[in-house]
Amino acid sequence: MNSKSTNKSNFFKITIENIKRPEISALFAFIVVFIIFSIFGWDKNFVSLMGASTWINYAASVGLIAFPVGFLMIAGELDISVGAVLPASAMTLGILSGYYELPTWLGLILTLGMAFLVGLINGLIVTRTQVPSLIVTLATLFAVGGLTLTLAILFTDSTLVAYYAPDWAKYLFGTVYYGGFRSIVFWWLALTLIFFLFLHKSPWGNWVFATGGDLESARNAGIPTARLKIALFILCSVCTALAGICQVIQFNSAQSATNFALIFNTIISVVVGGVLLTGGFGTLIGIFFGTLTLAIVQQGINFTNIDRNLSNLIIGIMLLFAVFVNGSFQSLTSKVITSDGDDKDEKS
């Protein structure tokens, strides 16, 4: 036990001192699963442009949302309302520009505006009340979901709408490029760059970390924490809406059903990416690879002979493993003694 706790805090100390980076372990996790599936999926062309496009497309559709969700987590908040905002925005565009045949640009603006509003509501409630964001966004998840369904049926008599976007919109949001890559992939890559600069280079990035690190000190340091959080909630909804837009334009059709799965997928990506659930720490590249890792496991399984029903099991184990690697970063919050003491408790 002695040696144990020693090694442990030893490892921690190292992580503290030479600022070991979560993206390293996320990259590591990514490489591991990639190799695994390359082996098991070889004879089914997992390793091919087309093969790659499957999980990269998927990663893009999740990653677009995982980034802002990650920002919120670093700032100490959660947003699970994305599960309802995605279909809501897809339906909005579908109904406005598809069913009512409004010009696309107008439909786009109104859709983004709707998302903006949801984010604003989330942000205001979270910052003005003492209610934890998990609960606030859980409530908006249900509310927005229910509203989408009701309005869809009210306006179109159906829970699904078809929408064929004009070519320019198709090229921008929903077409397939060489090798089977979708427009959304380029959005994702572009945002990866922009968000990287935002989080790690711009002053605002610093604010995000400070806010999540110690809310009160951040405010005392003159950081407008509340406005920052509201902005992040809005960013989160708007990015989700962008994903929704890409979806409806790509698939020419939108559905109103709440997408609960998305909630889990984004959180998994972010945490596998090494962001601290308790806030204050994380990296963009980490989230990037976290998303890719999830995507490979989710899609790669289809290239193997493994029983598909096992994929959930594998996702679970992969998640544990990845978080295990990152777990150490918790210690940065000087929780060393904690874990150490805990072991003791068990021993007996």
Binders of a copy of itself among residues 143 to 162 (CB under 8 A) are 143-147, 149-150, 153
In one letter, which amino acid is 82?
V
Q: 110: how many CB neighbours lie within 10 A of its CB?
A: 17
Rounded Cα distance between 316 and 322, Å, is 10
Which of other proteins, ligand ATP, a copy of itself, none sits in contact with 139, Cβ below 5 to 8 A by type? a copy of itself
Considering the complex, what minimum distance in angstroms separates the CB of residue 179 from ligand ATP? Answer: 50
CB closer to ligand ATP, 88 vs 336: 336
Cα–Cα distances (Å) from 150 to 26, 144, 262, 270, in that order, read 41, 10, 21, 32
Relative orientation angle of helices 284-300 and 49-74, to the nearest 10 degrees? 140
* Paired residues of 182 in beta bridges: 176
258 contacts a copy of itself (rule: CB under 8 A): yes
Which of other proteins, ligand ATP, a copy of itself, none sits in contact with 147, Cβ below 5 to 8 A by type? a copy of itself
Among residues 53, 61, 97, 140, the one that binds a copy of itself under rule CB under 8 A: 140
Which of other proteins, a copy of itself, ligand ATP, none sits in contact with 95, Cβ below 5 to 8 A by type? none
Tokens of 334: 């000087």
Per-residue x/- marks for a copy of itself, 202-221, CB under 8 A? -------------xx--x--
Q: Decide: 291 and 67 in contact? Cβ < 8 Å.
A: no
In one letter, which amino acid is 274?
G
Of residues 308 through 337, those in contact with ligand ATP by CB under 6 A are 336-337
CB closer to ligand ATP, 13 vs 201: 13
38 contacts ligand ATP (rule: CB under 6 A): no
Q: What is the helix (H) or strand (E) element at residue 32, kind and residue range?
A: helix 22-40
136 contacts a copy of itself (rule: CB under 8 A): yes
Rounded Cα distance between 150 and 144, Å, is 10
Rounded Cα distance between 239 and 85, Å, is 10
Q: What is the helix (H) or strand (E) element at residue 177, kind and residue range?
A: strand 176-177
Among residues 86, 268, 284, 292, the one that binds a copy of itself under rule CB under 8 A: 268
Q: What is the DSSP letter of 259?
A: -
CB closer to other proteins, 225 vs 237: 225
Q: Which residue in this structure is represented by tokens 């279909």?
A: 87
Residues interacting with a copy of itself, by CB under 8 A?
A: 124-125, 127-132, 134-136, 138-147, 149-150, 153, 215-216, 219, 224-227, 230, 258, 260, 264, 267-268, 271, 277-278, 307, 309-317, 319-320, 323-324, 327-331, 335, 337-339, 341-346, 348
